Structure 1
Amino acid sequence: MSTLESFESSGTRSWISGDYFARILEQYFGTEVVVVSFSIEDGSPEGQNFMNSIIRARITYCRRDNDEWSTTSLILKTGLSNPELARNVQYVLRIEKDIYGPIMREIDDLLAGSGDFCSFGPRLIYEDQDALVLEDLALKGYSQPDRKARLDMNHCVLLIKKIAKFHAATAVLGRKKRELFHLHMGSGFLDPTNAIRLYYMNCIAECILLTETVPDLTYYRDFLCDFAKTMTERECSTFSREDEEFNVLNHGDLWQNNALWRYDPQGFVQDVLLIDYQECFFGSPGVDLNHFLYSSANNDVQRNGFGELIEIYVNELQVTLKMLNYDLKVPTLNTIQQEMIKKRDHAVIVTTCIVPALIMERPELATPENMLDDSDQARRARRETFTNPKFVEILKILLPQLADVNG
C-alpha cells in the first residue's frame, strides 16, 4: 500500500487530503460530510498502466444527516507522476471526463427510452483539474480474472455482446447528435510526438528478433520487417474514417485489463463492465473487434472461436440498432467482417505490442521506461518480456492469420 505521506513528499499528490474527500462526498450525497480517516493505495498492478495513475482511496466518514460512521472506496484517475510522460498524455483526462460525463448520460437515456438499462462502466462521482473520481466497482463484486490465462469463450461472449450494444447506441447518437463526439474524431496516436509510436517500434523490433531465433516463426520475418517500415502510416490509417460507412464510438483500448467481471456464487461469469475510456475513437467497429479478439481471447478461442464471436456481435448489434430505430441500413455479417479486414493492421499492432505485456510473468518489467528507453536494463527487460514461451505460442497461432492477405 502507498501511504499519503509518500504521495505528499513526492510533491505530485499534495492536493489529496481529508478536506478533498469531504468535498467529493458532500457533492455526491448533497449533505455535509466529516472525513474521519482515509488511506490510499495503488489502484492497478505495476506495469499495467501507461497513460495515467490509478489510486484507490478508502474513506471513513460521517454524514451530517446520519451520525453513524460509514466507509467507502473511490477510484481516482490522475496524471502520471513522471512529468515528461505526463505531458505526452495530457489529453487523457479530458477524453475520459467527456465519456463518463455527457456521452454516458446520452447513451443511458437513449437505451432507457427503449426499456434497456444496461450499464457500460463505473459511475462518475466527481471531477476537477487534478482527478477523475469514479465509483469503485470492487464494492459491487466486480474483479479481474487471471490476466495471463486470458479469456475463455464465456467471458468473450459477454464482452462481445456488451460492446455490440455500446457500438449500436453510439452509432444512433452519431446520426442524431454527431457533435457529441467532437473530441473523439481523431486519436492521440496521430500526434507525431506521442511516445506510443516509439513503444510500438521497439515492440515490433523485438518480434522480428524472435523470427530470427524461433524456427516456426522464420517465415514471418519479412512480413514483420515490411510492416515495421510503414508502421506509423499503417497505424494512422486505423484512425481514418469513411463517413459513408458504418461508424461507432470505439472504446479504443478494448483488452482484458480494461474489463471488470461479476460472478455468481458458483463462479460463473454474469456481467462485464468496461473501464479506461481514454482512447475512444469514432470510426470503424473493426478497431475494437480486432483489438479485443487479438489481445484478450485465449488460445482456444483464437484458434477456433473468432467466427462464432463475430456472428454473436452482429446479432446483438442488429437487434439493438433496430430497437433504437437506426435510420440507415443495418450492417450485415459481411459488412463487419470487411471492417475487420480493413483494420487488420491494428490487429498486428495489438498482437506484437500489447499482448506481451498482458501475459508476462513479471509485470513490473513493463514500465514506460523499459519499453521506451535504449539502456541496457530496458533492452534486457524487453528481451525477457518478448521471449516468454507463452507469447511465442501466441505468435505461432496469430501470425499465420495476420500474414494471410486473402483471409
Structure 2
Amino acid sequence: MTSGSETPSTAKWLHKKFLETVLRKGDNTPTLKVTSYDVKPAVGKGDNYTSDLYRVKIHTADGKVFNLIVKKELAAEGELGKVLQKSSAFLRETHMYRSAAVRLANILQEMSPGECSQFAARYLYSCPGTIVMQDLRAEGFKMAERRQGLDFSHCLLVMRMLARFHAASVVLHDRDLETMSLYDKNFFSDPEMKEGLQKFVSGTFRTVVKAVQTWPGFADRYAGKLDALADSMLDRIIQVSQRDDTALNVLIHGDLWVNNILFRYSDGPVDVRFVDFQLLHFTSPAIDLQYFFSTSPCEDVRENHLDSLMKEYHNTLCECLNAMGYSHKHITLEDLWKEYNNKALYGLFGACCVLPIVLADKGFDIDAILKSGIGEEIEVVNGDTYKKALQRMLPKFEEDGVFRSGESLSTDEVQNA
C-alpha cells in the first residue's frame, strides 16, 4: 500500500486559488498573491497510511516564502479509505489543530512563560477533509529512522513532551469540558467502522500466529494463545482503553509511534513535535505508554531503560500539574506502574498490529488484510528483527496476564466496552 490514493499530479484541487485562500485566512494576510508554488509528496512509501500528505513551498508577490503541509483525507477507494471515511478520525484531528492544540499550548505557556509550549505544528486552515499546517521540516524537524528504533535520548525527549501534553490536557479538561467532549469516545468503538477494524486486527494477529508457529520454544507456548485472542482482540482493546473516572485521565495521542514523532537535532535530538492526531481519546495515560514502548524504542531501550523513562514521564507529569496549580487527582509512580501493567493488552495490540508496520522496509498492505480478514503473508513478521522483539515481549505480556483473558467476552462486556 502506498502513502495515499493521490499524487501531486492528480491532486487538481491543490491549486493557486486554494493556496491563496489558505494564506489569507491562515496567515491573516488578505492581500497575498501566490506567484509560484511547488508540490511534492511529504513522506515516502510506507511512512504514512491514513491520509495523503503534500509538502508545498509557496512564493508570494511580496517576496515571502511559505512552507506548508497539506493533509487530505483518504478517498473511499481502497479498503482503508472506506473505513476511515466512516470514522470520526479526521474530525478529531481537525478540531485538535484548530482549537484544542491552541488551548493546550496556552496552558503550557502559563506554566512556563517564555519556554517553548508547542507540541504540534502550527495550524493555518481547514475545510472538510483537508487540514493545512506549517511544515515542521522547514523548522529543522524530521522523522527518525523507524526501522532502527528510538534510542534512549530520543525516548527521553518523547517522555518529557508526552508528560507535558498529558498534564495540559488534564487542566483543559477541568476548565472546558465542551472543548474536550469530542474525545470522550474511543476511535476504535465507532460502530460504522467496526467491521473494517475487526478484519485488520484479527487478520494481523493471524499473520503473527503463522510466524510464531515456526519459532522453536514459542510455538507451543504462545501460538495458540495468540490465535485465541484474534477474533476478540478488538473488543478487548476497546474495553481496556475505557476511562475510569475515579483515576487520573489524560488526552492520549492514541497513535504514538515513531513516524508520528518528529525531532530536531544539534549533536543529538534536542526538541520534539507530535503529528497525526486522529486517534485522540480522553482516558488512561498508560495507553499511550504501552503503545509507544511496544512499537517505537530500540531493543536496548525496551530491555534496559523502561524504568528510567517511566520515572522521567512521571516526574515531568507531576511537576507540570503542580506548576499549573492542579490539586485534584494525581498518580504515584507505583500506581502508574500498576496502571501500565493493567493495560498490557494494549501493548500486545501494538506489538502484533503496529510493530510490523514500523519494521517493514516496504509498504505494508493494509488493504489486503481489510479485504480478507485473514492472515496474509507479510515478510516482515518472519524477519529476525521482529522475531527478536516479539520473543522478548511475549513473556512479559504473559506475566502481566494478557493471555488469562482468553476466554470469550460476555455479551454485556462487549456492549459496555
Same fold (TM over 0.5): yes
Match of 2:380 in 1: 385
Q: How does 1:312-351 map to 2 (within 5 A)?
A: 312-351=312-351
Match of 2:239 in 1: 237
Query: 1-side partners of 2:83 and 2:368: how far apart?
Result: 17
Match of 1:66 in 2: none
User: Shift of residue 228 of structure 1?
Assistant: 1.9
Counterpart of 1:104 (choices 85, 88, 101) is 101
8 Å Cα contact 1:56-1:75 kept in structure 2: yes
CA displacement, residues 287-317 of structure 1 (integer Å, 9 cap, x when unaligned): 1000111110110011111111111111101
TM-score (norm 2): 0.88
Match of 1:51 in 2: 50
CA displacement, residues 219-244 of structure 1 (integer Å, 9 cap, x when unaligned): 21233123224212211113311111
Query: 2-side partners of 1:54 and 1:372: how far apart?
Result: 22
Counterpart of 2:18 (choices 10, 17, 20) is 20
**Residue type at the aligned position of 1:205:** R
Aligned length: 389
Counterpart of 1:220 (choices 213, 222, 241) is 222
Match of 1:282 in 2: 282
- Of stretches 32-41 and 121-130 in structure 1, the one that deviates more from structure 2 is 32-41
Query: 1-side partners of 2:106 and 2:67: how far apart?
Result: 27
Q: Where does the alignment leave 5 or more consecutive residues of structure 1 unmatched? A: 64-68
Match of 2:414 in 1: none
8 Å Cα contact 2:203-2:230 kept in structure 1: no
**Residue type at the aligned position of 2:197:** I
Counterpart of 1:77 (choices 50, 71, 81) is 71
Distance 1:77 1:312, change over 3 A: same
CA displacement, residues 343-391 of structure 1 (integer Å, 9 cap, x when unaligned): 21110000011001111122x2x13323323499x934x2x13212210
8 Å Cα contact 2:57-2:68 kept in structure 1: yes
Counterpart of 2:84 (choices 85, 89, 107) is 89
8 Å Cα contact 2:264-2:270 kept in structure 1: yes
3-state SS of 2:54 partner: strand
8 Å Cα contact 2:105-2:119 kept in structure 1: no
- Of stretches 290-299 and 223-232 in structure 1, the one that deviates more from structure 2 is 223-232
Of all paired residues, the percent bearing the same amino acid is: 25
3-state SS of 1:33 partner: coil
8 Å Cα contact 1:78-1:131 kept in structure 2: yes
Pairwise CA RMSD of aligned residues?
A: 2.2
Q: How does 1:109-188 map to 2 (within 5 A)?
A: 109-116=106-113, 117-188=116-187
Match of 2:197 in 1: 196
User: Shift of residue 55 of structure 1?
Assistant: 1.3
Is 1:206 aligned to 2:172, yes or no? Answer: no
**Residue type at the aligned position of 1:392:** K
User: Shift of residue 83 of structure 1?
Assistant: 3.1
User: Shift of residue 108 of structure 1?
Assistant: 1.8
Is 1:263 aligned to 2:265, yes or no? Answer: yes
Distance 1:403 1:374, change over 3 A: same
Distance 1:6 1:118, change over 3 A: closer
8 Å Cα contact 1:247-1:284 kept in structure 2: yes
User: Shift of residue 217 of structure 1?
Assistant: 2.2
Query: 2-side partners of 1:221 and 1:129: how far apart?
Result: 44
User: Which gives a bigger RCO, structure 1 or 2 (Cα 8 Å, sep 6+)?
Assistant: 2
Query: 1-side partners of 2:130 and 2:156: how far apart?
Result: 33
Match of 2:406 in 1: none
User: Shift of residue 327 of structure 1?
Assistant: 2.3
Query: 2-side partners of 1:313 and 1:189: how far apart?
Result: 26
Q: Where does the alignment leave 5 or more consecutive residues of structure 2 unmatched? A: 403-417
Query: 2-side partners of 1:36 and 1:216: how far apart?
Result: 64
8 Å Cα contact 1:51-1:92 kept in structure 2: no
Query: 2-side partners of 1:263 and 1:184: how far apart?
Result: 32
Distance 1:326 1:375, change over 3 A: closer
3-state SS of 1:379 partner: coil
CA displacement, residues 3-40 of structure 1 (integer Å, 9 cap, x when unaligned): xx96565xxx3321111111111221424122122222
User: Shift of residue 57 of structure 1?
Assistant: 1.4
CA displacement, residues 223-269 of structure 1 (integer Å, 9 cap, x when unaligned): 312322421221111331111110000000011000000001xx311
